[in-house]
Amino acid sequence: MIPVDRAALGRDAREVAPYLLNKVVGHGAVTGRIVEVEAYRGSDDPGSHAYRGPTPRTQVMFGSAGFAYVYFTYGMYWCMNVVVGPEGTASAVLIRALAPIGGIDTMFERRPKAHKTKDLCSGPAKLCQALDVDGRFDGHDLAEDPLLLLDDGTPPPAEPSVSARIGLSRGLDLPWRWYVSGDPNVSR
DNA sequence: GGTGTGATCGTA
DNA sequence: ACGATCACACCA
């Protein structure tokens, strides 16, 4: 298990997003495999938080690839992105679902409303609860403990499923969501 | 199985 | 005012 190659993360978000399928996210011993992602770009993507230029909230998106952009939404939830692309393009990949691997008992403690394993990480805010990811990791280098983006040698799926992104009011025409076909942990 | 709605508050 | 969401109620 090694950190995901930083140079690979520096490519366009539409390449990096499907590349991140089957990579591993870990917070300490609590880990899961990425099974669903969405690509976001900056100035040309009306669905992106960065569309209208940098703000205090989005400043880490305008920084280097390989860092976490963690944002607060709907007054109660956190969601986690990997900053990708050439520096300054404000691109990111939203991690939308994980297949739980390690620390599943801890995930159930953090998500008491989950009844089955597939309820633990089948959504961007759910997986942040399960992994105890919140605003303290905004701007965190994902090659450093305790929150890591790892490559265990599993390749991305040869033919991931593709769809429009979820939960947006703008940018709905862009097919920038990728997921592992048939995985029970994929959201909704 | 599917659809509709309330919660809750930082951001712009 | 609205949101890169979730959980639960309700209907089928």
Q: Is the CB of A7 under 7 A from strand B?
A: no
Q: Is there a contact between A140 and A147 (Cβ–Cβ < 8 Å)?
A: yes
Residues A168-185 have a mean pLDDT of 95
In tens, the pLDDT along A98-131 reads 999 999 999 999 999 999 999 999 999 999 999 9
Flag whether A86 is in a domain: yes
Tell which residue, A13, A35, A56, A50, has the closest CA to residue A126: A35
Residue A38 lies in a domain: yes
Query: Is A49's CB less than 7 Å from nucleic acid strand B?
Result: yes
pLDDT in tens, A123-159: 999 999 999 999 999 999 999 999 999 999 999 999 9
Does any strand B atom come closer than 7 Å to the Cβ of A75?
Answer: yes
Total domains in chain A come to: 1
Nucleotide nearest to A75 (CA to C1'): B9
pTM of the model: 0.97
Mean pLDDT of A50-63: 97
Residue A188 counted as domain residue:
no
Element (H, E) at A13: helix A13-19
- Whether residue A67 is contained in a domain is answered as yes
DSSP category for residue A75 = T
CATH code of residue A14: 3.10.300.10
Q: What's the Rg (C-alpha) of chain A? A: 15
